[in-house]
Chains A and B, each alone.
Chain A
Amino acid sequence: MNYIETSSGKWEVVVGLEVHAQIISRSKLFSTASTEFGISPNENVSFVDAALPGTLPVINSFCIDQAIKTGLGLNGTVNLVSFFDRKNYFYADLPQGYQISQFYHPIISGGYIDIENENDELKRINLDHIHIEQDAGKSIHDQSPTKSFIDLNRSGIALMEIVTKPDMRSADDAAAFLRKLRSILRYLKTCDGNMDEGSMRADVNVSVHRPETEYGVRAEVKNVNSIKFLTTAVNFEVARQIEILESGGKVDQETRLFDSSSGKTRSMRSKEDAQDYRYFPDPDLPPLILEQSRIDAIRETIPELPDAKASRLQREYGLPRYEARIISSEREMADFYEKALSGFNPDKDLAKLLANWIIGELFALLNKHGKNIANSCISPENMGELVTLIKTDVISGKIAKDVLELMWSSRKSPSHIVEKNGWRQITSMDTIENSVKEVLADHTDKVAEYKSGKEKLFGFFVGQAMKKTSGKAYGQMLNEVLKKILDEEETSVQR
């Protein structure tokens, strides 16, 4: 078990998450206004979103399809009948004075995600439910000392709230869950998972207790908008709560706000001040009744998900678990990887080599140019060809890095680049022997030192010989030839 140990003994941490995931959809949940991000304030606002008198919500059935897809992808049960409820509260960025949500009968019940902890142990995090709701607008308080501004572009955008059971036991668990959830949602194309744009946000419930005792009182931390902050927030809460308990105090059931600049949480409102949302079924919307055939049709569209894909990559290509998991964490990366391999019948080594080149070198390039794998300047076919050139000793790994750079800028194939620059590795025995002999002839003093026991000079001879071939000599061959010649000379001298 994953306990925290302090001078007073062991503590167990319990974490549950409520993740708000913005549904990928061109229009809002109950209106035809666009969901485009980054447009000027109050541009994407329909009469419904502004809650003009007499306006009524009309459900966007694509958003429902997206929620069904998510539910199926997360192993949940799609409820054939669900309802929309109103959550009533006043705020300036909530035009209706209520948020339409699903409180009593959500669209998805149950479900789970398997995560792996740092010891590669599989752990199942169960979901309580997933419900659909509309987002509120944005209040902007920092533009004027006396005024607040309201932007309703976000008002009415469809969200899924994915609520877990309290199944996580550490900040790492929570971070692994959120990463995995984001990966699956991206595979499903139901949420883009961009936490910095706010299209995925998490509220996290944290409590601590002594092992083998009842769960502690939990605090809900709001406004956690990155995986790094999630870890910080959970760790801060755990430390805070343990400190309170160890000094004989009691943890309050309260809502706390995470401040990303300080990495701390602070009290927002206590349980006593908790709002009464007066949930009741929204009379403007009939029950959401789903046909089994609709659910079945959506099931057909679900792609192979990361877990299944990682297992298959291991099985089909003999890829090690670690590489398989990284490659399959993003659908585009996995597609790229498989496409790169599709040109030939790869062996285990090549499969691993390709994975490492994608994870290492290609990713560094993508980051450098601010691109992602989907809009990479290097095609999967060319990437496959590059590692084949390495694998078949046509070029060295060192040269391959230069080739990759040129592949990016010129978009040409690696073999074209290698030929054009004459970068083909020199594997001709004669050429290598000649350059070695030349080097040894040029440095007879050093050869003598070498022979008197200064064996470190071997590297010097390699470097000089490489220089003579402009770095293109096949390293392994060069080493062998050099060794052979030096040995021969030695025996000839002794003789």
Chain B
Amino acid sequence: MYNLSLYDIRKGLLSRKFSSVELTKLFLDRIEKFDGLNAFITVCADNALESAAQSDKKIADGSAGELEGIPLAIKDLFLTKGIRTTAGSKMLENFIPPYESTVSRKLLEAGAVFLGKTNMDEFAMGSSNLTSYYGGVVNPWSRDKKLVPGGSSGGSAAAVAGRLCVAATGSDTGGSVRQPAAFTGTVGLKPTYGRCSRYGMVAFASSLDQAGPITQTVRDAAIFLRVISGYDENDSTSSRESVPDFESFVGKSLKGLKIGIPKEYRIDGMSDEILKFWEIGAAMLREAGAETMDISLPYSKYALPSYYIIAPAEASSNLARYDGVRYGFRAKGVSLNETYENTRAEGFGDEVKRRILVGTYVLSAGYYDAYYMRALKIRKLIRQDFQSAFEKVDVVLTPTTPNSAFAFGEEPKDPVTMYLNDIFTVTANIAGLPGISIPIGLDEQMRPLGLQLIAPYFKEELLIQAGSALEKSANFPTLKEIYHELH
């Protein structure tokens, strides 16, 4: 039963094949059983069972919401009222939010059951989940050695891949939904910037952050996305664009659809296997009726460097509020400045400190024009790149990552190489475009690989349409067994 998709579980619940309480118990048991994956920071069993019981009543009296009774996991970056929300940081270890994020509120209003809060890189800064104050997450696809699930939504991706929940929320600032989805053989969708409200999401980089679902199937992503999308008066950057029925694009013919293959995404050091799957993916889309063509996105190579200016700059400012004055962790000091220094020195991990330092530097007088302003110019050029590409094609196809999941201890030791994990995903964030990662196959080491589709603004339905065709042809294998007690 735990292997069922969200779509099938919803059918089962509505036809009363099983109850939400049964389902919730099943997943809570699995969370306990596979505790070694460290996918959750906080499990809220009592809350979950209580809301499952309520959902069962609603299903019985015919007032079920769109996600009624479906057990989900929530990335620990979404504020959940009354449930501890840490953002993977010591800074918020004991922070109990007094309000609900818009995304999680919409899920609750649709009847979803929250199993718990998933592990993540600290303040969503990382591509491995290794920067979490609560320890790394183990990728359920690990065999002989512990693999990372990717990041920053590593806990959510691992929970979905390991079937510890039906689906989960993630957030994507530079690839934090799509990269872990690719590493764990799940579907990860980053919507257009502004599609989902950021209200109540712990901010990393405000102009890039976007919530998104991590699911087992493309159809599940479509169902999930529709629930969390829409304008929110609490977020001035959220869009009033109407929200289509994404699910109706599942399985829709690709006839007449043009797929662009950007040559700039062939980079040095990319594995042959990735290149092979990229070609296979293109062939699958052709077989499904689409036309593929080579395109050029010349400024893409500047996306990563500009991302690592813009994101830290915004983060350095966004994280200034964690000062130990009003909430969260506070270390003692004899003066205000010393309290700040001690609080932030002890409360933040190394990667967060590194990005705050970088961000502070690039915004400093004398460097602002050289770094930040130039990064904004490149951002504009990258947007223009895509705009001209989308005059010729409907969707762009790229690999999601340049490599598959790496093992604990084998992660790149210098941060810049680590940042290369995001090289194919950051462009969508920089441009604000929607992207999806679809599991395409396993490499020789039996590690999942994903392909990425990028669509024009507010055209997520094209991702669903093309993504469901890829998914169908790829026939990605189901995970048979979880070796979670690796060392």
Residues of A within 8 A of B363 (CB): 88, 278-280
Cβ distance A279 to chain B, nearest Cβ, rounded Å: 8
In the complex, what distance in Å separates the CA atom of A37 from the CA atom of B234?
Answer: 25
Assess the A280–B203 pair: CB atoms within 8 A. no
Which interface class (under 10, 10 to 19, 20 to 34, 35 or more) fits A? 20 to 34
Residues 267-288 of A, flagged 1 when their CB comes within 8 A of B and 0 if not, give 0000000001011100111100
> Of B93-101, B156-164, B246-254, which binds chain A?
B93-101
In the complex, what distance in Å separates the CA atom of A97 from the CA atom of B87?
Answer: 19
Residues of B within 8 A of A98 (CB): 317, 320
In the complex, chain B residues 279-330 whose Cβ is within 8 Å of any chain A Cβ:
313-314, 316-317, 319-321, 323, 325-327
B198 within 8 A of A: yes
Which interface class (under 10, 10 to 19, 20 to 34, 35 or more) fits B? 35 or more
In the complex, what distance in Å separates the CA atom of A280 from the CA atom of B313?
Answer: 9
A59 within 8 A of B: yes
A110 within 8 A of B: no
Selected from B201, B205, B233, B317, the residue in CB contact (under 8 A) with A54 is B201
Residues of A within 8 A of B372 (CB): 280
Assess the A47–B340 pair: CB atoms within 8 A. no
Which are the 6 A-B pairs with shortest beta-carbon distances?
Answer: A97-B320, A283-B207, A278-B363, A283-B206, A54-B200, A51-B321
Residues 322-348 of A, flagged 1 when their CB comes within 8 A of B and 0 if not, give 000000000000000000000000000
Assess the B317–A276 pair: CB atoms within 8 A. no
With CB as the reference atom, state the residue of chain A lying closest to B79.
Answer: A54
Cβ distance B195 to chain A, nearest Cβ, rounded Å: 15
A47 in contact with B99 given A88-B320, A92-B336 (CB within 8 Å): yes
Residues of A within 8 A of B198 (CB): 54, 56
B63 within 8 A of A: no
A56 in contact with B236 given A90-B340, A280-B368, A283-B207 (CB within 8 Å): yes
Assess the A88–B317 pair: CB atoms within 8 A. yes
Selected from B98, B237, B365, the residue in CB contact (under 8 A) with A52 is B98
With CB as the reference atom, state the residue of chain B lying closest to A150.
Answer: B325
Assess the B321–A95 pair: CB atoms within 8 A. yes
Interface pairs (22), CB distance under 8 Å: A50-B327, A51-B326, A53-B321, A54-B101, A54-B199, A54-B200, A54-B203, A56-B199, A56-B237, A88-B320, A88-B363, A90-B337, A95-B326, A97-B317, A97-B323, A98-B317, A276-B365, A278-B360, A279-B363, A283-B205, A284-B203, A284-B236
Q: Which residues of B contact A (CB under 8 A)?
A: 78-79, 85, 87, 92, 95, 97-99, 101, 198-203, 205-207, 233-237, 313-314, 316-317, 319-321, 323, 325-327, 336-337, 340, 360, 363-365, 368, 372
With CB as the reference atom, state the residue of chain B lying closest to A93.
Answer: B325
In the complex, what distance in Å separates the CA atom of A47 from the CA atom of B325?
Answer: 14
In the complex, what distance in Å separates the CA atom of A280 from the CA atom of B320?
Answer: 14
Assess the A276–B313 pair: CB atoms within 8 A. no
In the complex, what distance in Å separates the CA atom of A58 from the CA atom of B202?
Answer: 17
In the complex, what distance in Å separates the CA atom of A88 from the CA atom of B233?
Answer: 26
Residues of A within 8 A of B237 (CB): 56, 283-286
Selected from A47, A50, A53, A90, the residue in CB contact (under 8 A) with B87 is A53
Cβ distance A281 to chain B, nearest Cβ, rounded Å: 8
